[in-house]
Structure 1
Amino acid sequence: MKTKFLIPLAGLALLCACKGKSNSSESADTLKASADSTKEVMRAAKIIHSDTIQSHPKVVKTAGIRFQVKSVRQATEQITALTDSYHGEVTHQVMQSAVVDSVDVRKSDDSVMRVTLINSTAEMTVKIPPANLVAFMNKVAQLGIRVNDQKIEVADKTLDYLSTRLKLKNQNELVDAQKKTTVNKKDPDNLLAFKNNMVDEQINNRKIDDSVKLSTVVLVFYETNAVSKRMMADNNLADYQQPFSKRFGMSFETGWNVFVEVLIGISNFWILIPVGLVIWLAIRYFKRKALVKG
C-alpha cells in the first residue's frame, strides 16, 4: 500500500527537478548571450576610443581674399615670391586683360591715335602650411590698395576621417574573412562595387590629409582701368581721298580726256559721213523729180 503512493510522489519530484534544470540552463544561455553582446559592444567602443586617440585632429583651413592693386603683373610676381618664402606652392594662376572701351582720334590724313580703356584682373590659388596662413594673408593684404573682402574658414574633419577609417577597417576584415572561406557570397559586380567604394574612401582620407598639411588660399585681384594710347595707320579706306581743290582741278582734266575719247570714237566711224551724204543727196534728187512731174 505504501509502495503504491511512493511511486507517484517519486515521479512528481523527478519532473520538478528536470523542469528546474531546464529553466536554469535557459537562464544560463541568456546570461551568456548577454555577456557576449556586452563584450562585443565594449570591444567596438574600445576600438573607436583607440582610433580616436591614435588619430590626430584633422583641421582643414581655407582662406580667400579679393583686393585692388596698382599693377596686376607686379602683384602676381610679389605673391609668387611670398608663397615661396612661406614654403607654399602656386597651383593655379590666370591673368586677363579686357577692353572696356576704345576711340580713334584722327592725327593726320592717314594716321589716328587709338585710345583704349583696359581692365586687368588675375586669379591665383596657392597652398600654404596652416601655421603660416595668417601671416601670409596679412602680407598679401598689405600689397593691395583696398581689400574688398577677406575670409579664413576652419573645418574639423576628424570625425569624417575617423568614420571612413573605421569603415575601411570593417571592409578589410570582411575581405579577409571571405578569403578564408571557399564560397564567395558576392557576385562579381557587387564585389567590384565594394572594392571601388573602398578605393573612394581611401582617396577621401588622402584628400583630407593633404588639406590638413596645406591650406588652400584663393586670391582674386584687379587694378584700376588703364588708359592705353597708340599711334596707328587709319584703317578706314574711305578716308584716303584727295582734297577738294585737287579733285576739282582733276575734274577738268578728266572731262577733256573724256571729250577727246568721244571725238576719237566718232572718227573711227568716218565712213558713215560720205555714205550718209550720198543717201541724203539721192533722197533730195528723187523728191525734186517727183515735184517736176507733178
Structure 2
Amino acid sequence: MKVKIFIAIAGIALLAACKGRNGSYEIANNSSSADTASVSSASDTLADAKPKLVKTADMSFKVKSVQQTGDSIAHITAKLNGLVIHHQMGSSIERSEDIRLSNDSVMRVSAFNTTADMTVKIPSEKLEDFMNHVSHMGIYVTARKMDIEDKSLDYLSAKLKLKNRREMVAQQKTGKIKIKDPEAVLWLKDDMIDGQISNQKIDEAVNFSVVSLNFYQSNTIYKERIANDDPSAYKMPFFNRLLMAISNGWYLFTELILGIANLWVLILAGVGIWMAFRVYKRKYPALKV
C-alpha cells in the first residue's frame, strides 16, 4: 500500500516539474508512454534507494567541572571524526558579600554558577556510542532526547526533478522542446543547482548527526582579598582630624584679620560718616510737636 502511495506522489511531482514555474515550456513530443516510463522508474528508484534518515539529539546534564567536561567532549568528538561547531561557556555571579579586614582592604566572597553549551557533529553510526559516553561524564542527566526524520521522499523528489530538468535541457538543445521565455532557461538551470545543493545537504545530515549539549555545575564559592573601594573608609583618625580642625580654625581666623585689614579704608569711611551723623543730630535736634 505504501509503495503505491509513493509511486503516485512521485508521478505527480514529476508531472508538475514538467510544467515549469511559469508554464512557459512548449513540448514538441507529448506522449503518455514517457510519463508511464518515468513513473515506473520512480517506483523502482524508491524501492531500491537507501533510506535517508536524519538523526538529531540533545542532552542536558550536571557535571563536576564544566571546563574539564568541555575539554573531554571536544577530545571524544575529534576521536570519533566529528566536529565541534559551537562552544560557549559563561559564569554569572549570583551573590556577593564584602567582609572588611582593615581600612584599606576587604575580603570579597562571591557565589557564581558556570554553564556551557556545545553543538557537535558526529558520524551517525557512532551517535549512540557518543551519547552514552557523554552521559557518563555527568553526575546525572536531566534530559536526553534523540529524533530521527526520514528524508527519503524529499531526496527522491529532488533527484527526479533534477533528472527531469536535465532531460528538458538536453531536449531543448536538440529542438524537441521550445522555451518561449529566455528567462525560464536561467531559472531552470538555477533550479537544477538548488536541487543538487538540497540533496547534498540531506546527504550531509544523514552522514553526520547534530548533537546539542548543555551542562552545568554546582555554584562555586570564590574568596579574594581586594582593596576597599569605599572612599569613606579612608578617613584619618579622630585626634589627627581634631588637630587639623584646630589648625584650619586658626588659619581661618588669621585670614579674617587679614581681610578686615584690607578693608581699613571702608571701615574708616564708615566711622567718619557715623560721627558726622551724630554731630548733625546734636546740632539740629528734631522738633517736638
Task: Give the TM bin, normalised by the shorter chain.
Answer: 0.7 to 0.9
Which of structures 1 and 2 has the bigger CA Rg? 1
Question: Take 2:183 and 2:201, find their aligned partners in 1: how far apart are those partners?
Answer: 27
Aligned CA distance change for structure 1 residues 56 and 183 (closer, same or farther; 3 Å): closer
C-alpha distance in structure 2 between counterparts of 1:42 and 1:88, whole Å: 44
- Of 123, 128, 144, which aligns to 1:134? 128
Contact 2:171 / 2:177 at 8 angstroms: preserved in 1?
no
Matches within 5 A, 1:4-19: none
Matched, 1:219 2:216: no
Q: Bigger CA drift: 282-291 or 262-271?
A: 282-291
Paired residue type of 2:236 = Q
In structure 1, the residue matched to 2:62 is 68
Report the 3-state secondary structure (helix = DSSP H, G, I; strand = E; otherwise coil) of the residue aligned with 1:224. Answer: coil
Calculate the TM-score normalised by the size of structure 2: 0.76
Q: Which amino acid aligns with 1:179?
A: K
Matches of 2:267 and 2:66, distance apart in 1: 85
Structure 1 equivalent of residue 231 of structure 2: 237
Compare 136-145 and 55-64 and name the one that shifted more. Answer: 55-64
More helix by share: 1
Provide the secondary structure at the position in 2 that maps to 1:101: strand
Letter in 2 for 1:177: Q
Matched, 1:107 2:101: yes
Does residue 1:174 correspond to 2:168, yes or no? yes
Normalised to the residue count of structure 1, the TM-score between the two structures is: 0.75
1:168-220 deviation digits (Å, cap 9, x = unpaired):
11111111111111884242333333332222221111011111111111111
SS of 2:235's partner is: coil
Q: How far 1:51 sits from its partner (Å)?
A: 2.2
Q: Return the letter of the residue paired with 2:253.
A: F
2:148 aligned with 1:144, yes or no? Answer: no
Residues 246 and 167 (structure 1 numbering): CA distance in 2 closer, same or farther, change over 3 Å? same
Which residue does the alignment assign to 1:31?
none
Find the aligned partners of 1:139 and 1:121 in 2 and give their Cα distance.
Answer: 20
Residues 287 and 179 (structure 1), Cα distance of their counterparts in 2 relative to 1, 3 Å cut: closer
CA distance in 2, matches of 1:278, 1:65: 99
For 1:51, the equivalent position in structure 2 comes to: 45
CA RMSD between the two structures: 2.8
Identity %: 43
1:107 is paired with a residue whose SS is strand
- Counterpart among 222, 227, 237 of residue 228 in structure 1: 222
| Whole-angstrom distance in 2 between the partners of 1:131 and 1:220 | 22
**Distance in 2, Cα, partners of 1:141 & 1:110:** 48
- Structure 2 stretches lacking a partner, 5+ long: 1-30
| Match of residue 18 from structure 2 | none
Give the C-alpha shift of residue 288 in structure 1.
7.5
Q: 1:98 deviation in Å? A: 2.2
| Aligned-partner SS, 2:179 | coil
Q: Are the equivalent residues in 1 in contact too, given 2:168–2:177 (CA < 8 A)?
A: no
Equivalences for residues 193-208 of structure 1 within 5 A? 193-208=187-202
In the aligned structure 2, how far is the partner of 1:119 from the partner of 1:177? 66
What amino acid is the match of 1:252? I
Larger deviation, residues 226-235 vs 61-70: 226-235
Structure 1 residues 278 and 171, CA gap change in structure 2 (3 angstroms): closer
Partners of 1:156 and 1:288 in 2: CA distance: 123
Q: For residues 86 and 274 of structure 2, what CA distance do their matches in structure 1 show?
A: 98
What is the one-letter code of the residue matched to 2:188?
Answer: F
Give 2:149's match in structure 1, choosing from 138, 155, 160.
155
Distance in structure 2 (CA, Å) of the matches to 1:286 and 1:138 = 116
- Residue 99 of structure 1 deviates from its aligned partner by 2.5
In structure 2, how many angstroms separate the alpha carbons of the residues matched to 1:282 and 1:82? 108
Give 1:290 shift: 7.8
Displacement of 1:275 after TM fit?
6.5
Unaligned runs of 5+ in 1: 1-35
Q: Say which SS state the counterpart of residue 178 (structure 1) adopts.
A: helix
Kindly tell me the number of residue pairs found equivalent between the two proteins: 255
Structure 1: distance between partners of 2:178 and 2:275? 128
